[in-house]
Structure 1
Amino acid sequence: GVVRWNHSWLEFSFSETCLGIEVPSCLRRDASSLLDPMECADTAEEQRVHSPPASLVPRIHVVLAQKLQHINPLLPACLNKEESKTFVSGFMSELSPVRAELLGFLTHALLGDSLAAEYLILHLISTVYTRRDVLPLGKFTVNLSGCPRNSTFTEHLYRIIQHLVPASFRLQMTIENMNHLKFIPHKDYTANRLVSGLLQLPSNTSLVIDETLLEQGQLDTPGVHNVTALSNLITWQKVDYDFSYHQMEFPCNINVFITSEGRSLLPADCQIHLQPQLTPPNMEEYMDSLLSAVLPSVLNKFRIYLTLLRFLDYSISDEITKAVEEDFVEMRKNDPQSITADDLHQLLIVARFLSLSAGQTTLSRERWLRAKQLESLRRTRLQQQKCVNGNEL
């Protein structure tokens, strides 16, 4: 007899011969009839679903499986083990020059905008580290507005991100795609299987939503549902699977980066308006030369940097917590309208990832002041844009 476990992607098969177990012949027939799902299939279509061809669903035979912390092959599989500490401590000792090189690289990719590059680094190392009730803590969705519309800039920017992260996906947000693509998985009761959707992505995938391709048009009912699914993913880090008669929530951990001309239609934790300092005559040649100029060894350091920092523990001491509270009260005294509780939360998130980006696992006074400076520059830039384009904010 053969024991099979069928899944929408994988089928695991074990036999008594490969395990070295002798099964009596009188038991083999009974075990096979109990465990083989083909015996219970009602229709030919359902049989094809249970046993798809290997070209559609590859077979992987597994004897031992271990869940990985990450999928970056450049790092040890388990960062908590004793033998991995040497690798981690060695890389942390050279973190500062790696960060400086990555900042310069992303600044060139963002057409000379170093402030946008700072926020892109914070976004790329962000991750949901815990959930408080239904609120996912650690997500940092960034909306890069001000992207040129009739340009290949966003496409090539995605290529840059694609070279830095282990998993990524670019969603071209057009009216046609929003109305016709399947964003959330749904159950096909005829075939008795779950049909996958675009948002069924691996954990820590970088999802780049290109809103610069969106033009005037009418969203139909599926399009509205798809926009709602994207909003739920961004806000709550969850995907609702559609079982027709009910919805089932599945938590996820997806880094969402939105490129748009004006402010995005989707919710975002942070909006940074792009201010290009240069205009390449040929965008493709410029981005290609940028990638070719980076040594493979340096590119690998960038990849290690962005993965490793997600697993660092972070804390805020009582002393710094008190100083932050006093600072917040003082800012409210000077101008009550300038900062709210949500603004403080945003500052703390920026300060968290700013500290981690420098390899610091606790918040310092210096990093707190730097976070305030970055947020001030970002807000000033948005206010300036509002004067130019009134509907920007």
Structure 2
Amino acid sequence: MEVVPAGPSILDTIFREKFETYKNDPSLFLGDVLRNLEKNLPDTTNILENDQKFVRVRGMVQDDRGSEYVCLACTVEENSQAHLSTMLCRDIMNMGESKVVDFDGQVGRHCYSIVEIPGVHTWMEKIDIQDSRTSNSSLSSMPVEKLDKFIAKFIGDEAEEIPVNTVLEMYGILSSHSLDLNPSEANTNLENVKNLHVLHYNTINCSSMYPEQLSIADLKTTGRSLLKSLTNVFGDDTTAGWILTNLISTTYARPGGMPISFIPLNLVGITDPVKIVDMFQSLVPVVKHLPLTSELLSNVAFAPIKNYDKDILEHGELQLPNGTLLIIDETQLPTGSFPVSGFAEANLKVLEEFILEQKLSFDFGFYKIPMDVDVPIVILSSDTSRFLRTPFQVPAITGNVEFTKDEKELELFRQYILVAKSKVRDIIISGDTSDAIQNSFVDMCKELDKTADKSDLLNELLIVCRLMAAGNLREEVLFEDWARSIELERGRKNIMTAWKKLTS
């Protein structure tokens, strides 16, 4: 236990008032500390210890660091006077000239390595995310602190198994620690990395950050406006339709292990990716832009890898929160063959698994653990993708028309996308519609080449028609959605054929 100069603190004062209550349920102590800090906002430095700071922070769970156990209550003696103290919300004990003469119980803290949300953008950071505890309270006025990495420490069984890649908003006490003086807790503390003692937290779903503020009628109008804006940029309503379909796609189920409602979209004919990347970043809360180069493929691991020497899980480029849009950019790769080494072979396998199965395998050396992901994918390439095969390929030739920069219009587009995306998992297909789709597909197959994979085509069209229904903010697929999906697929094939002739 580290000894530092004593400073004023509300922790022991609060703890002494209801010691027996906190002994039975330490989480009640966290709530009382939070209320006291809230009352003293905006300046809480005068009631915390010298190394502590009350913060609001957001981040992604990168690794589970296990649990540690600390003293729940201890008796501290100073100048023949004894008083109760606690290690709750602390890494060090402010003892001054005091000494500990008795211990009473211990409590477990669940510890996680937290990193800054990969691909998060400024407009998303400004969104005020609230829950029943923070709504209409002064906590919601606290600025969000930016931290690259920290260890979050939780008390309570509900935090014992927070999945990796989960995005959290946390209110807590940020503090320092000393590895030299706490060697038994080296697994739950990292050198030069601060700890956050979490008082309150909530989970952020990057795919549903907006409450529904517009009416369904207004949202439908917004959806049509977004499609028109995309058509103006790309000069083609087929390309615009496929991009919009990708924007509202989500992997919500895996019957037989295969992801449903997932559309990895390959935009071909790209010469300048900046305009397209900027457009996606203005519409989606979290976007990971992955520009493939020989150096990146060779030198940077795409999957998380366990470093046993440092006892840490090293972050991989593709360790992303669900709801992230991943843009795989091949436009910087040289034509023809190019040298690769190191991680390249493993990284290409990681990308293939990510795209085909929506999985990311965490590499623990002796074994790998595959994790399900929900990450829509857009591949940018000058020709069709060299490494990553997807049936959803469409030319995306941008002209002189810029995508809107109007923040009010973008705000409406974002709301529409997130509301439409939230509808996908609940879409149903009635028996009558299913029969009509089946009859339509039988007729369609009569015109197909005998070598065509009819099963794959049916699955692809069913995915698209579900997304069509979600895009129209309905809860049920209508036959018109099926007809539109066929129209979109035929349009895609036609413009791909025309583009290939033009570029051959």
Same structural fold, with TM-score higher than 0.5 when normalized by the shorter chain:
yes
Equivalent position amino acid for 1:324 in 2: I
Q: Which position in structure 2 is the counterpart of 1:271?
A: 393
Q: Which position in structure 2 is the counterpart of 1:99?
A: 223
Identity of aligned residues (%): 25
1:7-22 alignment, distance < 5 Å: 17=86
Q: Which position in structure 1 is the counterpart of 2:329?
A: 210
Residue 411 of structure 2 is aligned with which of 300, 304, 317?
Answer: 300
Q: Which position in structure 2 is the counterpart of 1:177?
A: 296
User: Unaligned stretches of 5+ in structure 1?
Assistant: 77-86, 281-285
CA distance in 2, matches of 1:175, 1:327: 46
1:345-356 alignment, distance < 5 Å: 345-356=459-470
Preserved CA contact (<8 Å) 1:49 1:191: no
Q: Which position in structure 2 is the counterpart of 1:52?
A: 190
Query: How far off is 1:140 after superposition?
Result: 0.9
CA distance in 2, matches of 1:376, 1:34: 57
Preserved CA contact (<8 Å) 1:173 1:209: yes
CA distance in 2, matches of 1:33, 1:298: 48
Equivalent position amino acid for 2:395 in 1: H
**Number of residue pairs aligned between Structure 1 and Structure 2:** 350
Residue 155 of structure 1 is aligned with which of 259, 274, 288?
Answer: 274
Query: How far off is 1:270 after superposition?
Result: 0.7
Bigger Rg over Cα: 2
Equivalent position amino acid for 1:309 in 2: A
1:299-338 alignment, distance < 5 Å: 299-312=410-423, 313-337=426-450
CA 19–225 in structure 1, closer or farther in 2 if over 3 Å, else same: closer
CA distance in 2, matches of 1:317, 1:339: 25
Q: Which position in structure 2 is the counterpart of 1:253?
A: 374
CA distance in 1, matches of 2:500, 2:233: 25
Preserved CA contact (<8 Å) 2:189 2:195: no
CA 380–34 in structure 1, closer or farther in 2 if over 3 Å, else same: closer
CA distance in 2, matches of 1:125, 1:306: 6
CA distance in 2, matches of 1:196, 1:266: 23
Preserved CA contact (<8 Å) 2:206 2:324: no
Preserved CA contact (<8 Å) 1:10 1:60: no
CA distance in 2, matches of 1:48, 1:62: 19
Query: How far off is 1:259 after superposition?
Result: 0.6
Equivalent position amino acid for 1:255 in 2: P
Preserved CA contact (<8 Å) 1:355 1:363: yes
1 or 2, which has the higher helix percentage? 1
CA distance in 1, matches of 2:274, 2:353: 25
SS of 2:290's equivalent? strand
Query: How far off is 1:19 after superposition?
Result: 7.0
Q: Which one has more relative contact order, counting CA pairs under 8 Å at least 6 apart?
A: 1
1 or 2, which has the higher strand percentage? 2
* Residue 349 of structure 2 corresponds to residue 228 of structure 1: yes
With structure 2 as the length reference, what TM-score do the two structures score?
A: 0.62
SS of 2:198's equivalent? coil
SS of 1:137's equivalent? coil
Preserved CA contact (<8 Å) 1:354 1:371: yes
Query: How far off is 1:249 after superposition?
Result: 0.9
Preserved CA contact (<8 Å) 2:207 2:421: no
CA 318–33 in structure 1, closer or farther in 2 if over 3 Å, else same: closer
Equivalent position amino acid for 1:306 in 2: I
CA distance in 2, matches of 1:171, 1:246: 26
Q: Which position in structure 1 is the counterpart of 2:491?
A: 377
Cα-to-partner distance string for 1:214-250 (whole Å, 9 max, x where unaligned): 1140222511111110111111111111111111111
1:67-106 alignment, distance < 5 Å: 67-70=203-206, 73=209, 75-76=210-211, 87=212, 90-106=214-230
Preserved CA contact (<8 Å) 1:187 1:194: yes
SS of 1:226's equivalent? helix
Query: How far off is 1:209 after superposition?
Result: 0.9
User: Unaligned stretches of 5+ in structure 2?
Assistant: 2-10, 12-25, 27-60, 74-85, 90-99, 112-152, 154-178
CA 300–246 in structure 1, closer or farther in 2 if over 3 Å, else same: same
* Residue 259 of structure 2 corresponds to residue 136 of structure 1: yes
